[in-house]
Amino acid sequence: MPKITYTDAAGESRTVDAEVGATVMETAIKNDVPGIEAECGGACACATCHVYVDDAWREKVGDAAAMEQDMLDFAFDVRPSSRLSCQITVRDDLDGLVVTTPARQA
Amino acid sequence: MAEPIKTDVLIIGAGPCGLFAVFELGLLDMKTHLVDILDKVGGQCSELYPEKPIYDIPALPIVTGQGLTDALMTQIKPFNPQFHLGEMIESLEKIGDPLFRVTTDQGKVFEAKVVVIAAGGGSFQPKRPPMPGIEAYEGTSVFYAVRKMEQFRDKNLLIVGGGDSALDWTLNLAPIARRVTLMHRRNEFRAAPDSVNKMRALVADGKMDLALGQVTALEGEGGQITAAIAKPDKGDPFKIECDTLLPFFGLTMKLGPVANWGLNLEGEVIPVNTESFETNVPGIFAIGDINTYPGKLKLILSGFHEAALMSQKASKYVNPDKRIIFQYTTSSSSLQKKLGVA
In terms of DSSP bridges, do strands B109-117 and B284-286 run parallel, antiparallel, or are they unpaired?
Answer: parallel
Give B268's pLDDT tier (boundaries 50, 70, 90). confident
Residue type, B99: L
Give B205's pLDDT tier (boundaries 50, 70, 90). very high
Q: Which residues lie closer than 8 Å to A62 by C-beta, 6 or more apart?
A: none
CATH of segment(s) B5-125+252-338 = 3.50.50.60
| DSSP code of residue B330 | T
CA–CA distance, A89 with B7 (Å, rounded to integer): 49
CA–CA distance, B65 with B53 (Å, rounded to integer): 7
Average pLDDT over residues B299-323: 97
Average pLDDT over residues A67-90: 92
Would you say A13 and A97 are in contact if contact means Cβ atoms under 8 Å apart? no
Q: Which of B45, B160, B190 to mutate to test the interface with A (most CBs of A within 10 A)?
A: B190
In chain B, residues under CATH classification 3.50.50.60 are: 5-125+252-338, 128-249
Radius of gyration of chain A from Cα atoms? 12
A45 and chain B in contact, CB less than 8 A: yes
Q: What is the pLDDT of residue B1?
A: 61
A69 and chain B in contact, CB less than 8 A: yes
Partner residue facing B49 (CB), from A39, A45, A76: A45
Residue type, B10: L
Average pLDDT, chain A: 93
Q: To which H or E segment does residue A100 belong?
A: strand A97-100
Instruction: Bin B233: left if φ > 0, else alpha if -120 < ψ < 50, else beta.
Output: alpha
Strands annotated E in chain B: 5-12, 32-36, 53-54, 63-64, 82-85, 89-96, 99-104, 109-117, 123-126, 156-160, 179-184, 209-212, 214-221, 224-231, 238-241, 244-247, 251-254, 270-271, 284-286, 291-292
CA–CA distance, B265 with B22 (Å, rounded to integer): 25
Which class is A3-100 in CATH? alpha beta
| DSSP code of residue B206 | T
Q: Which of B40, B246, B276 is nearest to B144 (CA)?
A: B246
* Residue ranges of B 250-269 with Cβ closer than 8 A to chain A: 250, 252-253
How large a percentage of chain B has pLDDT more than 90? 85
How far does the CA of residue A97 sit from the closest CA of chain B (Å)? 24
Would you say B33 and B58 are in contact if contact means Cβ atoms under 8 Å apart? no
- Closest Cα in chain A to B249: A74
In terms of DSSP bridges, do strands B53-54 and B5-12 run parallel, antiparallel, or are they unpaired?
Answer: unpaired
Taking the domains of chain A in order of start, what are their residue ranges?
3-100
Q: Which of B45, B47, B51, B52 to mutate to test the interface with A (most CBs of A within 10 A)?
A: B52
Q: Which residues lie closer than 8 Å to B306 by C-beta, 6 or more apart?
A: B17, B277, B287, B288, B291
Q: What is the pLDDT of residue A23?
A: 96
- Closest Cα in chain B to A75: B130
B342 compared with A72, residue with greater pLDDT: A72
Q: Which residues of B touch A73 (CB under 8 A)?
A: 161-163, 184-186, 190, 249
Q: Could A43 and B48 be called an inter-chain contact, meaning their C-beta atoms sit closer than 8 Å?
A: yes
Interface predicted TM-score (ipTM) of this complex, two decimals: 0.81
- Calculate the alpha carbon distances from A63 to A52, A58, B212 in Å: 12, 8, 20
Residue B105 exposed, middle or buried by CB count within 10 Å (0-12, 13-18, 19+): middle
Which class is B128-249 in CATH? alpha beta
Q: Tell whether pTM > 0.90.
A: no
In terms of DSSP bridges, do strands B89-96 and B99-104 run parallel, antiparallel, or are they unpaired?
Answer: antiparallel
CA B101 to chain centre: 20
Size of interface A-B (CB pairs under 8 A): 42
